[in-house]
């Protein structure tokens, strides 16, 4: 059974939320009063999972797994681990829904 580890919750003071989150993630997240998931409205990959495109110094772009980046804000995540959402909603980026598990 996967363990759900919340990264931060509704009561987290704004000063404890990383600037990266506020600048790149927050503007593209859709929330609602009756919607437990935080729906990512930004770029997605062909499977529908959240991606963030980052410009490299050489002007090329790199696609990054947004869920993995969110978890990496809080923990050093080895390559042998994956990040998925407990709610099974492809575009959900709610940190309290994210599950970290070892790749099999």
Instruction: Check residue 89 and give its pLDDT.
Output: 93
18's tokens: 């990383």
Q: Six-digit token pair at 103?
A: 């790749």
Rounded Cα–Cα distance for residues 14 and 12 (Å): 6
pTM of the predicted protein model: 0.74
Tokens of 71: 């978890």
Report residue 2's pLDDT band, with 50, 70 and 90 as the boundaries: very low
**Residue 94 three-state SS:** coil
* Partners of 53 in beta bridges: 63
Query: What per-residue confidence (pLDDT) applies to 10?
Result: 57
Tens-place pLDDT, residues 77-96: 888 888 989 899 999 998 88
């Amino acid at each position: 059974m996967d363990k759900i580890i919340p990264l931060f919750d509704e009561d987290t003071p704004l000063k404890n939320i990383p600037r990266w989150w506020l600048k790149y993630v927050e503007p593209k997240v859709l929330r609602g009063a009756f919607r437990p998931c935080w729906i990512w409205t930004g770029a997605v990959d062909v499977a529908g999972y959240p991606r963030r495109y980052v410009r490299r110094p050489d002007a090329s772009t790199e696609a990054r797994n947004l869920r993995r980046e969110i978890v990496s804000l809080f923990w050093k995540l080895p390559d042998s681990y994956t990040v998925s959402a407990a709610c099974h909603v492809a575009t959900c980026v709610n940190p309290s829904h994210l599950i970290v598990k070892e790749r099999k």
